[in-house]
Amino acid sequence: MKIIFFGLGSIGQRHAKILLENYTHDLYAFRSGENNDVNKLGIKEIYTFDEVKNLQPDIAFITNPTAMHIETALKCAELGCKLFIEKPVGKDTDGLEKLINIVKKKKLVTYIAYNLRFHPVIKKIKEYLKRKKPVYARVVCTSFLPAWRPNTDHLKGYSANTAMGGGVILDLSHEMDYVGYLLGGIKKISGNFAKVSNVTVDAEDYADMTVISGGVPVNIHLDFLSQIRQRYIQIDFEKLTVVADLIDAEIKEHEGGIVKNSIELDYNRGQEYEEQLKYFFDNIDNPRMMNNLIEAGDLFKKIVTFKNG
Distance CA 183, CA 138 (A): 12
Cα–Cα distance measured from residue 14 to residue 126, given in angstroms and rounded to the nearest whole number: 26
One domain for residues 160 and 84: no
- Yes or no: say if 213 and 184 are a contact pair by the CB < 8 Å rule: yes
User: Over 70: is that where the pLDDT of 38 sits?
Assistant: no
How far apart (Å, rounded) are the C-alpha atoms in residues 214 and 229? 28
Structural domain boundaries, residue 142: 120-266
Domain boundary among the residues 114, 141, 173 is at: 114
- Residue 30's CB is within 10 A of a number of other CB atoms, namely 23
Q: Residue 14 pLDDT more than 70?
A: yes
Cross-strand bridge partners of residue 221: 140, 208
As a whole number, mean pLDDT of residues 119-138 equals 96
φ and ψ at 89, to 5 degrees? -55, -40
The answer to which of 30-39, 44-53, 284-293 has the lowest mean pLDDT is 30-39
Residue 279 domain-assigned?
A: no
Same domain, 145 and 74: no
Residues 83 and 127 in one domain: no
Q: What pLDDT score was predicted for residue 84?
A: 98
pLDDT in tens, 223-275: 999 999 999 999 999 999 999 999 999 999 999 999 999 999 999 999 999 99
**pLDDT score of 150:** 85
Cite the DSSP H helix spans in the chain: 10-22, 49-55, 69-78, 96-106, 120-131, 168-171, 174-183, 271-282, 293-307
pLDDT at 33: 64
In a domain, 288, yes or no: no
pLDDT digits (tens, 9 = 90+) for 40-75: 899 999 999 999 999 999 999 999 999 999 999 999
Among residues 232, 251, 266, which one ends one of the domains? Answer: 266
- Here the CATH number for the domain that contains residue 78 is 3.40.50.720
pLDDT computed for residue 35 by the predictor: 53
* 309 pLDDT tier (thresholds 50, 70, 90): confident
Interior CA angle at 300 toward 154 and 72, to 5°? Answer: 70
Number of domains the chain is built from: 2
Last residue of a domain, one of 79, 114, 149: 114
In this prediction, residues 180-197 reach a mean pLDDT of 96
Sorted by sequence, the CB contacts under 8 Å of residue 100 that are 6+ apart come out as 293, 294, 297
Write down the pLDDT at residue 32.
79
Structural contact between residues 213 and 229, judged by C-beta atoms closer than 8 angstroms:
no
What's the predicted TM-score (pTM) here? 0.95
CA distance 2 to 256: 56
Q: What would the 3-class secondary structure string for 155-204 be?
A: HHCHHHCHHHCCCHHHHCCHHHHHHHHHHCCCCCEEEEEECCCCCCCCCC
Residues 6+ apart with CB under 8 A from 3: 19, 25, 26, 27, 28, 57, 58, 59, 60, 61
Distance CA 263, CA 143 (A): 24
